[in-house]
């Protein structure tokens, strides 16, 4: 196992519900280190870079609209195999299908077709993490 970094976003729905502290608590309880932390409202340009691979897909515009609708908590975490580990901690993308004990399973709501409102984002690979960290924390 290697020490790696991942980007974690507490999305606008999680931020609005006051769940940033709980998400960060779970990250630290898992043994990962917080390397960088910021609260910001994402710009459309920032989100276009972040979600570039999804441009043109039916969910792209609603996703960018949702993610730019309010503040997010952005964090860079570090630890052994933390990309895969955080995704496991987050749970299935659809909160209705997420297992109890995961962030989405415990804290997520059933939003029907609004699956993007699922509390958190976590990088899906070390390569994506490096790209995403560069977008959200360019000086890191």
Is there a binding annotation on residue 41?
Answer: no
The CA-based angle 109-110-114, given to 5 degrees, is 105
Is there a binding annotation on residue 104?
Answer: yes
Catalytically annotated residues: 121
Is there a binding annotation on residue 59?
Answer: yes
Characterize 112-123 residue by residue with b for buried, 16 or more Cβ atoms within 10 angstroms of its Cβ, and e for exposed: eeebbbbbbbbb
The CA-based angle 76-79-85, given to 5 degrees, is 90
Binding-site residue numbers for ATP are: 11, 59, 87, 93, 104, 118
Binding-site residue numbers are: 11, 59, 87, 93, 104, 118
């Amino acid at each position: 196992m290697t020490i790696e970094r991942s980007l974690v976003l507490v999305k606008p729905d999680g931020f609005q519900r006051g769940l940033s502290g709980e998400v960060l608590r779970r990250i630290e309880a898992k043994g990962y280190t917080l390397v960088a932390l910021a609260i910001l409202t994402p710009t459309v340009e920032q989100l276009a870079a972040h979600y570039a691979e999804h441009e043109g897909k039916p969910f792209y515009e609603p996703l960018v609209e949702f993610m730019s609708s309010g503040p997010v908590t952005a964090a860079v975490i570090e630890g052994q195999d933390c990309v895969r580990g955080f995704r496991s901690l987050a749970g299935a993308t659809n909160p209705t299908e997420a297992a109890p004990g995961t962030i989405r399973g415990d804290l997520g709501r059933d939003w029907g077709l609004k699956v993007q409102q699922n509390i958190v984002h976590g990088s899906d690979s070390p390569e994506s993490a490096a790209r995403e960290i560069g977008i959200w924390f360019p000086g890191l």
